[in-house]
Amino acid sequence: MLNRSLILLFVVFCLHIEAKAQDISIFQQFNGRYDYLAIGNTLNQAENNLVQSFCETLPSSQANLNVDNTSTVIAAYLYWAGSGLGDTEVTFNGTQIIAQNTYIIPYTDSGFGELNYFSCYADVTNQILTEGNTTYTLSDLDISETLANNPGYCGNRTNFAGWSLYVIFENNTLPLNQVNLFQGLEIINRNITEKTILLENVNVLDNDNAKIGFLTWEGDNALNFGESLSINGNIISNPPLNLADNAFNGTNSFTNSTTFYNADLDVYSIENNIDVGDTQVEIKLTTGAVNPTTGVFSADLIIINNIITVLNSQLPDATITIDSTSISCASRAVTLNYTVYNTNSTDPLPANTPIAIYAEGQLIAQTETENSIPINSSENGVISIEIPTSIPDDFLLNIVVDDDGNGNSSVVEIIETNNIDETVITLFPEPTVTNLSHLELCDVGFNTATFNLFDALLEIDETNYISFSFFETLQDLEQDINNIINPENYQSLTTPQDIYIRAEKNNCYDIFTFQLNTKNCPPYIPEGFSPNNDGYNDYFNIQGLYTIFEKHELLIYSRYGNLIFIGNDKLKWYGISNQGFNKGKLVPTGTYFYLLRTNDPNYGNYTGWIYLNR
């Protein structure tokens, strides 16, 4: 899928502090042998609804953290809240903490107008891992200016501040659980007396020991008019700490404290309130009723900050990523390297889990996992795909794990919506062939010539290419085999001969072609020779004639006009007569005349004299 995080389901913008109201929604999810505990304390010296003599908060408060020494802390989150628009910097055990998110929720009071309440959040995992089990003190949470400048908070007794630390831990003795942490800031009060929160992204396979926890603010023990907390339509309670009609009453279930003034840190068993197969949990909160003593409508103001569930859940969670793609030039084949993960899971992913590959929504290939993938493990795969011609050269490729090719899943997973990854593919069409000018050289014999093939590059802008290779056939070029080893000194044996250039670019190549022409050049006829068997100039050596003008005829005449020799490409004149009365004899020193018939349509006949010197 596009979200490749292994745990995070909701992105926290850590470097940007953003103030906003937000509905309670999934924040993080942990799957494995996990559980959680929470500590915290109030900064109110008493319940503000009962004791109306104070309008300030304490400078600090403490709580003890005691994680079992056989457990491993996985994550820790600090929350602090209070009246006003927020104090985004506090001190936690001497360390300055800056809020990563600040949520603000308004309440309109009939007598004092709009009042705001805030909650801040920060990830303090590294600090908890470093300091471990100890007494933690939160200080420098200062809302004094807010309370001083707006009398409404103390006037309607909603002046409060407090903090809580949530710790997620792993222990091998625990069952395989799914821990879901939901976060936001929502409110019920005399204006909004009922709130329904739907928790999604849960998977209930076994409801044994299922539990749910709440962090809420500003609840008053003395204002339990019409107050209820229900799960899936069933009112829950935790007596004697949390009664059915007074869930938000300044208590801490972890310490059994009833003096967590104007804050609640409570946990409830919900074994009987959820069913196997449930994928969501409905939370409903109510407040407000007529006070039978006064006959006046009264309601508590309750601010919900986070909800956490712990459910037994043994399921795999298949995700997939495209690691790399390999695309060949002039080909519609794509090689796809991918990885199937089972990271955010509590059970192995079965072998033969199907995988479907789509191009522009069209199914083009299928494969499957080879092995059972254990929890927190992965499996690499590779597949070569031929892209149909009906798909454009630029297209979106999707790979989906746990997909039978018809969009159907065959494996029940923790999350069914994270099985896909995608990438944009650009195919490289078959290069066109560009013709270059011919190269021509004189025949050096038997229709051969030695060319410098790089001379053909003079017509090409070489800056557009990485390298050049030369080939004798187009097929060799396309397969990139049998390239010409020494293009600077290439001997052409036939004429004309086609040569192909493979000009490499970053992703593909261009093709150029040119022709080698070995031509007959005018022969050079010397004016003399010395047939004395000294190994030098012993025959009438007409340069550029033999093995070039292979059909030529050479006639030699004496000075009296008598034909004394007839030669051809295989018969040179060594000063011996092969015609007339002196046939087979050496001819004497002197001047002789020649007629050279080239028998080449591009050249005529050559006549002249030659001096033979013995």
Phi, psi of 229 (to 5 degrees): -135, 120
Cis check for the bond before 523: say yes or no (omega within 30 of 0).
Answer: no
First to last CA, the chain: 95
Which pLDDT does position 18 carry in this prediction?
Answer: 41
Sheet bearing 60-64, strands edge to edge: 60-64, 135-139, 89-92, 95-98
Q: Structural domain boundaries of the chain?
A: 19-312, 319-426, 433-519, 523-614
> What value does the mean pLDDT of the chain take?
91
pLDDT higher at 603 or 21: 603
Indicate if the pLDDT at residue 412 is higher than 90: no
Listed residue (3, 8, 365, 300) closest to 157, CA to CA: 300
Number of residues assigned to the chain: 614
Confidence of residue 17 (pLDDT cuts 50, 70, 90): very low
- The residue-averaged pLDDT of 560-570 equals 96
Matching fold, domains 319-426 and 433-519: yes
Going by pLDDT thresholds of 50, 70 and 90, the confidence category of residue 493 is very high
- 125: phi then psi, degrees, rounded to nearest 5: -55, -50
Q: Tell me, what's the pLDDT at 21?
A: 52
Res. 7: pLDDT tops 70 = no
pLDDT tens column, 293-348:
889 999 999 999 999 999 887 788 999 999 999 988 888 999 999 999 998 788 89
How large is the average pLDDT for residues 60-76?
A: 97
Q: Write down the pLDDT at residue 3.
A: 32
Q: Which CATH class is domain 433-519?
A: mainly beta
Say yes or no to pLDDT of 510 above 80: yes
Domain 523-614 sits in CATH at 2.60.40
**Stretch among 47-56, 203-212, 416-425, 506-515 having the lowest mean pLDDT:** 203-212
pTM for the model stands at: 0.58
- Measured in degrees and rounded to the nearest 5, phi and psi for residue 435 equal -85, 135
Looking at residue 32, what is its pLDDT? Answer: 83
Strands 206-217 and 263-269: antiparallel
CATH fold of 319-426: Immunoglobulin-like (2.60.40)
